[in-house]
Structure 1
Amino acid sequence: MRILLLVSTFNSLTQQVFCRLEDLGHEVSVEYARSPRLMEEAVALWKPSLILCPYLTQKVPETIWRNIPTLIVHPGPPGDRGPSSLDWAILRKETEWGVTLLQAEEAMDAGPIWASKGFKMPSTSPKGRIYRSEVGLATLCLIEEILEKFENPAFHPKPQNPLKPMHAPVRQVDRAIDWSQDDTATIVRKINASDNHPGVKDSLLGLEVTLYGAHPERRLRGAPKEVLAKRNGAICLGTVDGAVWISHLKESHRFKLPATYVLKNRLKGIKEHRIPLYVDPHLETFKEITFVQEGRIGYLGFDFYNGAMSAEQCIRLKYAIKTLRDEVDLLVLTGGPNFFSNGIHLTILEESKKQGEDGWSNINAMNNLIESILFSDDILTVASFGANAGAGGVFLGLACDFVVAREGVVLNPHYKTMGLSGSEYHTYTLPRRVGEAKAKEVTEACLPLSAKRAKRFGMVDAVFTAEAYETSLKKWCRELLTDEERYYDLLDAKRDRLEAERELIDACKEAELKRMYPEFWDPNSDFHRLRHDFVYKVCPSRAPTRIARHRVKVRVKRQGERDDFVSNNQEK
């Protein structure tokens, strides 16, 4: 059927819903709910049978919900009403939570319920991760359920009777940290309930900031709120029972940056507290690169905040890969629990006074990292897309010999929306997997892809269910090593290919960099403008036509006469 998504932004949950509906064969268009007029215009053009609102902070006009079934995705169980649902759930240490799909009405979250699904709340995860994982997966299950119900004339949604009162939004006073009383777990929970937005407001070293990215620390000790150490951009603060790392800060009217970038000279005399290049993932401290070895298989994690990778982070990860090639026969790149990777670090580039030079350094560091994966001819490599990936982060994964993904993961294998042509060897790795024509289609369309769809045309080798993902991944990796003869045949074929195609691979990279050079160095390039808008969260007035298909024009011939342009809606 024809479905319209009315949303506040095309965020991760909206993209998950968009991909699932397309995978099911429905026609989907998206509009940003910037005004009642814009929403009404989208409905008039698209004429949807059903409207879904995966992420909506505005009110749907009565002229819409009275005439077309309009369902709101609420990130809370039945009966929960109001904003900040996940925030409250984390702050109140809820162990069970859920997602509810309810019909839009005049009062907020008061409409009859179409479907709901519960899930166990992770005890230590930040809000953004829960939203992209547990909430996203529950929503996808509910989407299929409500589509069946929509086709069933006997189905009637269940009224909320009695209607429970609506809870208030979480205010900064509810999030505020009392450093003289709150223990480490409480501080981490308050920041987790506020990641990625709106963060926890506080003051550090005389500067008013907002805190993000909390990690408990058990070995360092100091007075509450005392700056004890720094590491890879993060700072460590004392608490009443230990310490906590804060990875990112934001000044008023600015954007999130690694904490040391914000505090700068205020940290004079604070020592860098180093740890090994990679550590056990269970170590309670701030860590970005982790490693676990299980026999001949190694699992390399890299949890970079929001998936953004600076030049320095790329260099550290490259050296980790080079070191581990001597330790295992199969190296699995698992990325982070929030994102696999999203490519180069846009906020650090926006902060830089030498944007061209630092951008060029970042993309070359990313390429050097990927080269270390591509040419690891003494082992086999696997990319595990257990979380979403975008831009160069997708192609970081495609540099591996094999690619597996978790069901529900969304991949954005394109650069154009940021004004870039892209590098990361993508003109070699993507066509090698899907062919030149499909590679061009994917990178030009600038649309998200579900893991299932990516597997259909060969971009991904295997997709496992979310419930059993880790178990399935490890079993798949063990089976890859079970047949020794096959393993060494694969390794020999890899070496032969790399030797035969070395000049082609290098030529692909050089051609990519040649196209990218002016994008970084020209101060008037689209990249600098689009990056600025992205970092400062400048919202477009309406959804772009690549997803707002109700506004796309198609060329048609009318009985041999001149070409006319009509809307998709009129043509169909």
Structure 2
Amino acid sequence: MRILLIAGAFNSLTQRVFAELTDGGHQVGVELVTRETPLLEAVRRHAPDLVVAPMLKTAVPREVWSAYTCLIVHPGPVGDRGPSSVDWAVHLGVDRWGVTVLQANDEMDAGDVWATAECPVPEVGKSDLYRNEIADAALAAVHSAVDRFASGAYRPRPQRSFTAAEKPGRVRPPLRQDARRIAWRTDPTATVVRTLRAADSQPGVRDELLGGTWFLHGGHPEDTLTGEPGALLATRCGAICRATADGAVWIPELRPPRTPGGPAPVKLPATLALGDRLPPLPEIPAPPEPWDGPPAQPGRPRTWADIRYREDGAVGFLRFSFPGGAMSTDHCHRLLAAYRHACTRPTSVLVLGGCRDFFSNGIHLNVIEAAPDPAEESWANINAMDDLVHAVLTTTDRLVVAALGGNAAAGGAMLALAADEVWCRSAVVLNPHYRLMGLYGSEYWTYTLPGRAGPEAAARLMDRALPVTAATGQRLGLVDRIIDCAPREFAAETARLAARLASAPACQPRIAAKKANRERDEARRPLAAYRSHELARMHSNFFDPDQPYHALRRAFVRKEPAAGTPAHLAAAGGIG
């Protein structure tokens, strides 16, 4: 079937819908739209059988939905209406939420229902929830709606026909800053964390701090540190710890407000954003095996760290989770130090990753944008990424598993490919390419990607610059194992499979063969040669003023609106 996706941005959900429908044999086109887009003209150009809007902030005009069936993916249960659905779900602390696929009509979110799906709401941030439980429900509902449309026999159900029990949602206003305000002197940690998590990616929580106005992004509970409510208590790995009425919270990122006529500011690690404003505070390292979820046992305090290591028998687990999947020079250095420590331990299998949500998206474009010399910071960041990937590639005394509970892109995807095995949750979307940011790429991709997918497939992936599902990644040789489970089950399922791998009779022979293969490949062409070749191209990308990288990065991190659908998407679907 010929399906056109219309969206305000090619975000994670739109990418997943595109990739999964393409895997299903449909011809899928993409149009990125704004209020100024001549949408009817664009739709006519594609001549689709069906229009699907995975993420759309503008109304579909009557001349479009009256001529074409247009299905809107709304991230809320039947009856829910308004632009802040997922924000409200987290802000209110609900246990379950849902997704509704409905037909566009004259009234926003009020059309006939083609499909619905429910999902749990764990104690995570809004963006994590959106990319995982909400996205899983959305894809289940989209696939159902597309199949029903293709049958030609299904008639969507008017919302007025749903009973009260079937229609748990209601009309909600936008969740604005006045409703998000934190009362630091009286709000307990649970309330503060929920408020922060309901705004973690966007828009953040507007607040006053150290004589300035900031938007706070992300929040994690801290049960041990206490102090005067609202006071800053400590720092850890770029985050700040701030006291609540009954404990404290860790806040990883801050963003200043936009100045009139100025460019959109970017989110940064909190200590970097505060700079000289930050008073002397203790840098408190995380305790062993820090825990930032509900206490697993009575008396176990909660805290936060972005890198964690633990062992279970012959398996080591090096877990990391950075906001947005971005890895700054500092992130890379700290993760490399943790990796080197993990490699001193008496394990036969080392699991890298294993958390829910993003694995990695490569270099930290926000930190680079805010640097005094973005080219120099880009260079430092890519070399730090390369050092990390090199350490993984040259680990020959144990098996390394990259466990992707969430998406990976660019250098983050290549970090995964450096491992001996790549395990993905079935919902993962991979973007193993660089060129949309004007980069040639490094992280030894010229060694690992052709080695896994073959030279021709590797060239196509890099040139087309389109997302692929974990299933397609497995067919191409990028993925070794697909784990079909819910997001919150991924860590436990990974641990179970890793223990089985470590105890298998073939484990030690595989380690010996791995060492021999690495020595053979090194003799054929040293890893240093791959790195030298890649970095020569990247140096030009970073330091040549005629290269597009800096303009593309600036537009990306400052969320400048795209002027129409990018060429790689316009040519992707093949339905126009």
Fold-level similarity (TM above 0.5): yes
Q: How does 1:345-424 map to 2 (within 5 A)?
A: 345-424=364-443
Single out whichever of 288-297 and 11-20 deviates more from structure 2.
288-297
**Residue equivalent to 2:561:** 539
Change (3 A) 1:29 1:499: same
Residue identity matched to 1:168 = P
Change (3 A) 1:165 1:432: closer
Q: Does 1:236 align with 2:235?
A: no
Change (3 A) 1:19 1:162: same
**Residue equivalent to 2:219:** 214
Q: CA deviation at 1:326?
A: 2.7
Q: TM-score, normalised by structure 2?
A: 0.93
Q: CA deviation at 1:176?
A: 0.5
1:521-540 CA deviation, whole Å, 9 max, x = no partner?
Answer: 23443111111111100111
Change (3 A) 1:339 1:533: same
- For 2:423 and 2:232, locate their aligned partners in 1 and report how far apart those are by CA, in whole Å: 41
Q: Is the 8 A contact 1:46 1:550 kept in 2?
A: no
**Residue equivalent to 2:507:** 487
Q: CA deviation at 1:407?
A: 0.8
Q: Does 1:325 align with 2:325?
A: no
How many residues matched?
552
Q: Does 1:435 align with 2:454?
A: yes
Q: Does 1:477 align with 2:498?
A: yes
1:51-72 CA deviation, whole Å, 9 max, x = no partner?
Answer: 0000000011111101111010
Q: Is the 8 A contact 2:103 2:112 kept in 1?
A: yes
- For 1:483 and 1:171, locate their aligned partners in 2 and report how far apart those are by CA, in whole Å: 54
Q: Is the 8 A contact 2:470 2:482 kept in 1?
A: yes
- For 2:388 and 2:423, locate their aligned partners in 1 and report how far apart those are by CA, in whole Å: 20
- For 1:218 and 1:522, locate their aligned partners in 2 and report how far apart those are by CA, in whole Å: 49
Q: Which runs of 5+ in 2 are unaligned?
A: 163-168, 259-264, 294-300
Q: TM-score, normalised by structure 1?
A: 0.93
Q: Is the 8 A contact 2:221 2:292 kept in 1?
A: no
- Match of 1:252, SS state, is coil
Q: CA deviation at 1:305?
A: 1.1
**Residue equivalent to 1:191:** 196
Q: Does 1:526 align with 2:548?
A: yes
Q: Is the 8 A contact 1:216 1:285 kept in 2?
A: yes
- For 1:491 and 1:473, locate their aligned partners in 2 and report how far apart those are by CA, in whole Å: 20
Change (3 A) 1:3 1:551: closer
- Match of 2:395, SS state, is coil
**Residue equivalent to 2:570:** 548
**Residue equivalent to 2:318:** 300
Q: CA deviation at 1:276?
A: 5.5
Q: Is the 8 A contact 1:278 1:320 kept in 2?
A: no
**Residue equivalent to 1:558:** none
Q: Which runs of 5+ in 1 are unaligned?
A: 553-567
**Residue equivalent to 2:97:** 97
Q: Is the 8 A contact 1:223 1:238 kept in 2?
A: yes
**Residue equivalent to 2:467:** 448
Q: Is the 8 A contact 1:307 1:340 kept in 2?
A: yes
- For 1:325 and 1:518, locate their aligned partners in 2 and report how far apart those are by CA, in whole Å: 34
Residue identity matched to 1:71 = L
Change (3 A) 1:165 1:369: closer
**Residue equivalent to 1:65:** 65
**Residue equivalent to 2:261:** none
- For 1:16 and 1:492, locate their aligned partners in 2 and report how far apart those are by CA, in whole Å: 38
Residue identity matched to 2:531 = K
- For 1:97 and 1:457, locate their aligned partners in 2 and report how far apart those are by CA, in whole Å: 35
- Match of 1:161, SS state, is helix
Select 2:520's aligned residue among 473, 483, 500: 500
**Residue equivalent to 1:559:** none
1:115-151 CA deviation, whole Å, 9 max, x = no partner?
Answer: 10111111x2000001000111111111221122112
- For 1:389 and 1:517, locate their aligned partners in 2 and report how far apart those are by CA, in whole Å: 24
| Identity level (%) | 41
Q: Is the 8 A contact 2:292 2:303 kept in 1?
A: no
- For 1:5 and 1:479, locate their aligned partners in 2 and report how far apart those are by CA, in whole Å: 42
Q: How does 1:114-133 map to 2 (within 5 A)?
A: 114-122=114-122, 124-133=123-132
1:396-441 CA deviation, whole Å, 9 max, x = no partner?
Answer: 0000000110111111101101111010000001111111111111
- For 1:69 and 1:53, locate their aligned partners in 2 and report how far apart those are by CA, in whole Å: 11
**Residue equivalent to 1:56:** 56
**Residue equivalent to 1:561:** none
Select 1:426's aligned residue among 423, 432, 445: 445
- Match of 1:151, SS state, is helix
Change (3 A) 1:259 1:483: closer
Q: Is the 8 A contact 2:354 2:490 kept in 1?
A: no
- Match of 1:244, SS state, is strand
Residue identity matched to 1:227 = L
Change (3 A) 1:435 1:384: same
CA RMSD of aligned residues (A): 1.8
- For 2:382 and 2:130, locate their aligned partners in 1 and report how far apart those are by CA, in whole Å: 30
- Match of 2:48, SS state, is coil
